[in-house]
Amino acid sequence: MNQDCLKVTSYFGERDRANGGFLADAFSDIFARHRLQTSLVMRGITGFGVKHHLRTDRLLTLSEDLPMVSVAVDTRARIQAALREVNALRFDGLVTLERAVMLTGDAAPVTRIPWEGQAATKLTIYVGRHQRLGGTLAYEAVVALLHQRGIAGATVLLGVDGTFAGTRERAAFFGRNTMVPLMVIAVGDTASISDAVPALTALLPLPLLTLERLTVCKRDGHLLRPPRELPSNDPSGLNMWQKLMVYSSEQAQSAGQPLHQRLIRELRQAGASGATSLRGIWGYHGDHPPHGDSFWQLRRRVPVVTVVVDTPGRIRQWFTIVDRLTSHTGLVTSEMVPAFRATGPGLARGGLRLARGLTT
């Protein structure tokens, strides 16, 4: 159990370039050189960034530069060493740095999560795309265990490149892609997450999990609490930021339109700095059994996660949009982001020094 772990996340465009190649490859190259515990690159389905150009896989003319998300997790020292190279890359996009607790190996002795008294926790499990446990895909086995343990929901997000246990794993069209990393994001009450951790580490031959504190703002249309009002700066003057995540499904509707598409469109029209939607391949919410795509379905039954990061004041503004559009469905969470750097045309905001503050 390592309580001094960091997660670095970058949001950018599929066609963005750096060092003579694609930016997505540059991130994976850096994380592989530093042999980070895990990293993955994911392709979004719709979103916009600092240039406010809408990208979506629904329209051919707008699908040539889809949003991309790169995530890497390891100890503070190893992440900060990799960040020196990330900072040297010149691109228009967003980079965030967040604190987490990392669990590797046998976590059976772990008896409590550091913020045990708080209501909710985000648990992320990293496994290989086609890794199997017996005759079952690893991610399906993980999701089934979470569902059996009463965890509120879980979403499987597919990586196309990354590192697993320090080794580069990149998807190939004719390859088995067994250990190309993916992540399973679960949100639940802290006590249930704590109880599930030993079972998960016993299930996986190479367990790699992270725990992050968060606030559940809405569930199935019911407002539980708005994002916590944070100051704009910590006591030392460093900027503080917040993140909203909306967990829904591709079938979820708002006023007769797909929920994630309306979220992206209205946030863009209102002037948000950026937002990204990612399509999952498997998952569940509430009492519904785990599911993914089926050959016989006319509409996809896969999860969708939409992410927006901004200043605390602007997040309160964006939450009014999220609150209105999730009046009947979805899970909405908020988290504090202690470091944030956005760059774009004529824009440079924030930095990657970690602010101190309370959870959202």
Q: What's the chain's average pLDDT?
A: 89
Burial of 28 (0-12, 13-18, 19+ CB in 10 A): buried
Tokens of 20: 């003579």
User: Using alpha carbons only, how large is the chain's radius of gyration in Å?
Assistant: 19
Q: What is the pLDDT of residues 103-135, one digit of tens each?
A: 987 654 555 788 877 789 999 999 999 999 999
Q: What is the pLDDT of residue 296?
A: 42
Q: What pLDDT shows up at residue 298?
A: 42
Task: Label residue 358 by pLDDT band (50, 70, 90).
Answer: low
Find, among 257, 273, 241, the residue nearest to 356 by Cα.
241
pLDDT (tens digit, 9 = 90+) per residue, 139-191?
Answer: 999 999 999 999 989 999 999 999 988 889 888 765 667 889 999 999 999 99
Q: Read off the pTM.
A: 0.93
For 52-111, how does the pLDDT look when each residue is reduced to its tens digit (9 = 90+)? 788 887 654 445 689 999 999 999 999 999 999 999 998 889 999 999 999 987 654 555
pLDDT of residue 297: 46
315 confidence band (pLDDT: 50, 70, 90): very high
C-alpha distances in angstroms, 343 versus 54, 96, 206, 218, 228? 17, 12, 37, 31, 26
Stretch 234-243: mean pLDDT: 91
Distance from first CA to last CA of the chain, Å, rounded?
A: 23
pLDDT tens per residue across span 255-286? 899 999 999 999 999 999 899 999 999 999 87
Average pLDDT over residues 239-267: 94
